[in-house]
Structure 1
Amino acid sequence: MASAGATVEEAAEGGAGIELVRRLRPDLLVVDFAMPGMTGADVVRKVREEHPGLPVVLVTGFAESAKLDAVTGPQVAVLWKPFEAQELLRKVAGLLSR
């Protein structure tokens, strides 16, 4: 993403990611489903409390469909592992153009 001109911030776990979103108010969130402490779906739900329109790319190799269904919508794109960088960039561009 950085090589495509985006400013990228990273968090080691879900709680730190939520705090980054609160502090930086990014244009888009990319979050992995499997993380220490909480799932990516948990992060998305928590972030949506304060930023309901924030576009999200949720990355997963395997995830419980019920948890994915609970956070999917027009501003959420699911990206299945493995994927190529171009696929991520297409998802991001699609979300940001809405």
Structure 2
Amino acid sequence: MKKILLAEDEDSVRSFLTRALQRAGYEVVSCADGDSAIEALDQGPYDLLLTDIVMPGADGIEVAKIAGQRQPGLKIMFITGFAAVALNAQKASPEAKVLEKPVHLREIVTEVERLIAA
């Protein structure tokens, strides 16, 4: 089973994403902020890091940098509601996928499947 580390500070979004990804057959470790996600890296290895960018504590870009150092080759997907932040994320991690909120759950699951299969 493929394993995803999810970092999302909005409880309802995190809950919806977790359930949708679990229904799609993934094991999901979900975290409410960037600092918790960094701690959860020890529960890896992961097939994908799916992270919001703007969060309390470490932001998603910092989480992605640390995750990439600890697990080179880890696939990364950012989700954000801020267009300018999305551009910064793309510059920081050009190989990462960036989705802008609002995004449909089915679109996220489809993109996760594509990224993991690549």
What is the TM-score of this pair, normalised by structure 2? 0.74
Q: Hey, what does 2:88 align to over in structure 1? A: 66
Partner SS for 1:34:
coil
Within 5 A, what are the aligned runs for 1:46-85?
46-62=66-82, 63=85, 65-73=87-95, 76-85=96-105
Segments of structure 2 that go 5 or more residues without pairing to the other structure are: 1-20
Identical pairs, percent: 31
Of 9, 13, 18, 2:38 maps to 18
Q: Where has structure 1 moved over 4 Å in runs of 4 or more?
A: none
Instruction: Name the amino acid aligned to 1:79.
Output: L
In 2, distance between residues paired with 1:92 and 1:65?
20
Note the alpha carbon deviations across 1:2-61, whole angstroms, 9 max, x for none.
Answer: 121211111121121022122221211110001101211111011111112011111111
Q: Calculate the aligned-residue CA RMSD, in Å.
A: 1.4
Of 8, 31, 51, 1:31 maps to 51
Instruction: Name the amino acid aligned to 1:16.
Output: S
Instruction: Name the amino acid aligned to 2:91.
Output: D
In 2, distance between residues paired with 1:72 and 1:52?
14
In 2, distance between residues paired with 1:69 and 1:34?
16
* Larger relative strand fraction: 2
Q: Are the aligned partners of 2:78 and 2:89 in contact in 1 as well (CA < 8 Å)?
A: no
Task: Label 1:66 to 1:57 Cα distance change in 2 as closer, same or farther (>3 A).
Answer: closer
In 2, distance between residues paired with 1:91 and 1:44?
18
Segments of structure 1 that go 5 or more residues without pairing to the other structure are: none
